[in-house]
Every structure is written in structure tokens, then in C-alpha cells.
Amino acid sequence: MKVLDALNAATKPIVSLEITPPDKGRSIDELFVTLDHLMKYEPAFIDVTYHQPHVVYEERDGVIYRVPKRKKPGTVGICAAIKNRYGVEPVPHFICGGFTKFETEDALIDLHYLGITNILAIRGDPPPGHRTFIPEKEGHRYASELVHQIANMNRGIYLEELEDAEPTNFCIGVAGYPEKHYEAPSFEKDLQNLKHKVEQGAHYVITQMFFDFQVFKRFVEQARDMGITVPIIPGVKPLTRVNQLVSIPRNFYVSIPHHIVEAMEAAKTPDAARKVGIAKTVELCEQLLDFGVPGLHIYTMGRGNATAQVLHALLG
């Protein structure tokens, strides 16, 4: 089932998860242990992240070679495994970086043949070691361009003119940023960019993590005022450790309200800090559900215990 169909058919807010592939050399069984524990909460879909490789240059016999080294491969394989093992719809992240538009088309055809009909289309971060995003020579610079290419394929329009081309059937999700994307000059400009992605063919929005309900509420209200009508699913990350109060804002360009920082830092032990973080996450989710969100998208980071605690508190 496509994500949009699941949202339209739901009689209550859905639950969805986001996982990260294991590091190269690790077993997929690590993910299965996490997901086995979470299946009782009946996730409607599971996002699987994808990241640009770290490119290094190596000299061999006097010749310089460009060698991409990917830390977390396997996104498409994991998606196929999830669909086969659990019967849950996987949603691979599809990025602009590292692909030409021709390679993008070929990869989309592979997903189409696999029966994977959901995609989260994002620009993606710069590769490790780079501060700015640089597209491939014949690649996409913006997520809106990627969305447009996927939407064209849904209409049977490929990069080369084909007779009687079969259209694909992708449901396209995009990212939204309640505190704005870190590269956007203003919140309003970032909302305009989001609207453009929707106009290019996006069917729904999943937000970056946030920790203040009022931040999300403002984002949704201003998005609606701007004419963005597609479903907006909030992304939630359970807090479990005091060091996340520094690492999450640094790595994801989001803020954490002072009342959460103060409460977690006042905890006497790591276990007490974890309990505070989980309780604050549950409180945020309850506010979101009261607000009438279509679902909750939980960033698990491949670890399921905190997610299970939050969902148990919400759903029993």
C-alpha cells in the first residue's frame, strides 16, 4: 500500500519508523532484532535512509583513481527484506547527491520492478568531509528536481522518448523543516521551497525532528496558509542521553527547549535522564495527537528500545 493510501484509509493516526542500514560488515540481523520488537505497534511503513559515499582518491601504479567508500550500504536490499519478512511497506530514501539523472532513472526502474512504490525524495547532505552540496555534472541540485523526474516517470515520461512507455506508480514523500533547513536564508523561503516540491508532484511531507510542539504547530499553520495541503507527518526522535542535548542540535540544526535540557541535566543518573527524555518525548507526541496529526514518524536510528517505550506509553 502506498503511504498516501495508508493515510487516507486510516481511522486513527498511523505509526511509521525510520531506520538506518548497519555499518558495512555488520549483519542485517541487528535490524531485525530491533524491528521484531516494534512490529506489535503495526507500523504503516518503514523508511530506510541512504547517504552519499565518502570519496577518496587512491594512487595505483601511478594512476589516480576516484574510489567511493560507503559506510552504510544496502538501502534497497533492506527495503526488499522488510517487505518480504514483515509485509510492511518500505520507503527508501532517494537522494540527489552521487547520481546523474540517468542513473536516477535506472535506479527508479529497479525499484519499480521490485514492487517498491514509495519513495522519500530528498536532496541529501553533502558527502562526508564537504561543507557544501555539489551535484553530479548531469544530476539534480534540488529535491524539487528529483520529485519532478519521479512524477514524470509516473506519467510515462522518461529521459529519452519512448513509445508506449509504462508509467511508474510511485508515492512521493519529501522532507519539511519546522525550524527551516539550515541552508535556507529564512523560514518563509524554506516554506516556499517546500511548496515548490509539492507542486512538482510530492504527495506528503515528513518533517525533520523537532522537540517543541509550538514549533511544529507554527510550521503547519503557515504551510497551510501558503497553500500546502498535502499531509504533514511529524518526525519525532526519542531523547535518551544527556550528550544528545549537544550532539543533536549540532548534527541536525534543531533546537531543544530549555525545560527539557534543564530536566535531563538535573537527573542524577543516566537511567534517570533516560526516563526524563522518554517522558518528554511522550508528552510531545500527546500534544501532536491532540493537534490532529495524521501520524507519528519515529526516528529510531536503528535502536528500538526507546521507540518501544514511547509507543507503549502512547498505545499500550
CATH of the domain at 57: 3.20.20.220
Please tell me the pTM assigned to this model: 0.93
Confidence (pLDDT) at 53: 62
The letter for the amino acid at 193 is N
Residue-wise pLDDT for 258-312, tens only, equals: 999 999 999 999 999 999 999 999 999 999 999 999 999 999 976 789 999 999 9
pLDDT at 75 over 90: yes
User: What confidence score (pLDDT) does residue 66 get?
Assistant: 58
2-11 mean pLDDT: 96
Q: Over 70: is that where the pLDDT of 217 sits? A: yes
Question: Dihedral sign, CA of 282, 288, 291, 295?
Answer: negative
Number of domains in the chain: 1
Instruction: Kindly report, residue by residue over 80-92, the tens digit of the pLDDT.
Output: 999 999 999 999 9
Helix segments in 115-266, DSSP class H: 143-154, 187-200, 213-225, 244-252, 258-266
Q: The domain containing residue 57 runs over which residues?
A: 3-315
Question: pLDDT tens digit string along 19-71?
Answer: 999 888 888 998 999 999 999 999 999 999 997 765 555 666 666 655 566 66
Confidence (pLDDT) at 68: 61
Catalytic residues: 18
